[in-house]
Structure 1
Amino acid sequence: MSKTQLPNIAVIAGGDSSEFVVSVKSGANILKAIDTKKFNRWLVQMQGQQWDVFQDEKKIAEVDKADFSFTCDGKKIKFDFAYITIHGTPGEDGILQGYFELLNIPYSTCNVHSSSLTFNKWFCNNYLRTFGIKMAVSQKFKTGETIHPEAIAGQLGLPLFIKPNAGGSSFGITKVKEVSQIKAAIEKAWQESDEALVEQFIDGHEFTCGAVRLGGKKVIFPITEVIPQNEFFDYEAKYTPGATEEITPARLPEELTAKCKKLTADIYDLCECSGIVRVDFILKNNEFYFLEVNTTPGMTATSFIPQQIAAMGSTLQTIITQIIEDKLA
């Protein structure tokens, strides 16, 4: 097949959340992993209404949103597939997925329904809880709602985690140890999302596990053990070199490894996921407590998923190639 006949793959990065910079790094790493013998690769950076096509880090065109195409050197190029690496809106909450559904363009992630469910932590938690998935007790507060810190502390205890209901990369999250900190922490979360979650603190160790469906079969990646030097796995701990020790595969006995992988597989199915997904847990007294589902997880060179794929003896290029080929079939 000639270069001009190869499918045109758009790696989509950017977005409209605080995770823009992380997404751009993820997009660059995914772009690098696209097999150029099988696909033509293009980077599409989105922010608001500005959708631009980049090649060799230079903007070469604007995207025609009517059919997800662009014109270069007088030639119209239509994208055949969208690899979404936007963390946050509009790439992780179902909005972009709806656009591609309308245009009948295959894409890498969960569908509209699954993306919107998993992005809203409150909805996802309450849905999974009905299937017996263990997790922290939580309360939700909308922007501007009256806060009664003493009542919250009385019901959930201290310390607490307060975080945005929709968002990622630990932006807007606070570990609260005193009643006097609750109101400010909720207001901080409201800066990232119009709803804040106040969660009971579970004192345990954090683990994360990736999964993907390839050729109709689920592949569960090796588990990563997360040991932050900070008090919890905040933005600084995630993205500062040396701020967190990450051990893949995790130092878990066989029984707990199997338990975590089964839980990851169950959550993948219950949420009707597609593409690469990462599920985060806290382990306490040999029980895994669900934290959240990431349907467009970080894919930078040092992110968990690339680490897990390497530990599995595979490569990012191999996995991405199969995802694209499965969806294009």
Structure 2
Amino acid sequence: MTLRVTILMGGWGAERAVSLVSAQGIIAACQTLGHHVTPLDMGETPADGTTLAARLTATTPDVIFNALHGTPGEDGVVQGLLDLLRIPYTHSGVTASAIAIDKQLTKAVLAPHGVRAPAGRIIESAGLHHADPLPRPYVLKPFNEGSSVGVAIVTDHSNHGSPIGRDVAGPWQHYATLLAETYIAGRELTVTVLGSGEKARALCVTELRPVSGFYDYDAKYTDGLTIHICPADIPASIAAAACEMSLTAHRVLGCRGVSRSDYRWDESRDDAGLYFIEINTQPGMTPLSLVPEQAKALGIDYPTLVQLLLDDALEAAHVRP
């Protein structure tokens, strides 16, 4: 069935560039599928809701493909507007988005359901220049950004200073508050969950091995800086535990369409060393992104993946165009 699909992309958040790359693949896939496509860039500066609502409704969509990453497209803001406009859209709704964008809140919600995560707390960035918030090594990052934006690992051997110097480059120069977490040594794993409710299923586990350093923004989006091992060469028990935790997170939070959960695994501790780090409700759809890669490993090509997300959006809205 031919659909009128509006691709919502860009935005003014830190992940604008990633969104625009994701959108290009989605546009091409929708055209391959025979849909009528209208790209809509939210722009580089904040827009008022009335203007955005008028631009959206003018495209007369059957469904919105939300290709935004980070704020304001992954935190529930755009989702609330689309709900008010009664336009079906892909990915998670308001509540799941608002919770999942907050890394510390997500951990608190999932902890009673057996999802193990590193200890951490929200801190004032200014306090870092007086004392460490946690024993070193520890991780500092914005609590509401994705794509490893603004992540710093503070160790005894790093050049951050002790305490961290005010003039040292880091996220404390850009964010008034940060999430401080215990650093988990080991391997980087990720799991995609596709579908909604009882139809949701974990696809597989990918291990990410950066050529140098850690899996930061550059390592994610620069070809050749990270080796993807899909499926990961890990014990079956670890793969099963990661998939189970990812499904739990997806369902408890009420995620829709697709999500991707990230983990650190300290293999010296076997199953007890697997830690949930965060969940992404708007995971990337770029040529280097992990969701299309895992889908392909299971025989789901890119256009089919896009169609599955469109179908899920329409089913969630009980729309039959």
After superposing the two structures, state which structure 1 stretch, 130-139 or 264-273, moved more. Answer: 130-139
Residue 257 (1) aligns with residue 239 (2): yes
After superposing the two structures, state which structure 1 stretch, 133-142 or 273-282, moved more. Answer: 133-142
SS at match of 1:206: strand
1:40 is matched with which residue? 36
Alignment counterpart, residue 292 of structure 1, candidates 258, 272, 278 = 278
Q: Is the 8 A contact 1:214 1:323 kept in 2?
A: no
Alignment counterpart, residue 68 of structure 1, candidates 46, 56, 74 = 56
Q: CA deviation at 1:230?
A: 2.3
1:57 is matched with which residue? none
Aligned residue-pair number? 304
Q: Is the 8 A contact 1:16 1:88 kept in 2?
A: no
Higher RCO (C-alpha under 8 Å, 6+ residues apart): 2
Structure 1 runs (4+) deviating above 6 angstroms are none
In the alignment, residue 135 of structure 2 is paired with which amino acid?
Answer: G
Alignment counterpart, residue 10 of structure 1, candidates 6, 9, 14 = 6
In the alignment, residue 39 of structure 1 is paired with which amino acid?
Answer: H
Cα gap change, 1:151 to 1:228, in 2 (>3 Å): closer
Residues 221-300 of structure 1: pairs in structure 2 closer than 5 A: 221-284=203-266, 285-287=269-271, 288-300=274-286
Bigger proportion of residues as helix = 2
Listed as ranges, the gaps of 5+ residues in structure 1 are 52-62, 71-76
- Looking at structure 2, the residues matched to 184 and 201 of structure 1 have their Cα atoms a distance apart, in angstroms, of 22
After superposing the two structures, state which structure 1 stretch, 245-254 or 184-193, moved more. Answer: 184-193
1:219 is matched with which residue? 201
2:131 is matched with which residue? 150
- Looking at structure 1, the residues matched to 111 and 310 of structure 2 have their Cα atoms a distance apart, in angstroms, of 32
- Looking at structure 2, the residues matched to 214 and 127 of structure 1 have their Cα atoms a distance apart, in angstroms, of 19
Alignment counterpart, residue 63 of structure 2, candidates 61, 81, 92 = 81
- Looking at structure 2, the residues matched to 245 and 90 of structure 1 have their Cα atoms a distance apart, in angstroms, of 30
In the alignment, residue 182 of structure 2 is paired with which amino acid?
Answer: Q
After superposing the two structures, state which structure 1 stretch, 189-198 or 241-250, moved more. Answer: 189-198
Q: CA deviation at 1:209?
A: 0.5
Cα gap change, 1:214 to 1:38, in 2 (>3 Å): farther
- Looking at structure 2, the residues matched to 126 and 11 of structure 1 have their Cα atoms a distance apart, in angstroms, of 33
Identical aligned residues as a percent: 31
Residue 313 (1) aligns with residue 295 (2): no
What's the TM-score once normalised by structure 2's chain length? Answer: 0.87
2:184 is matched with which residue? 202
Give the CA RMSD over aligned residues: 2.4
In the alignment, residue 69 of structure 1 is paired with which amino acid?
Answer: T
- Looking at structure 2, the residues matched to 127 and 184 of structure 1 have their Cα atoms a distance apart, in angstroms, of 34
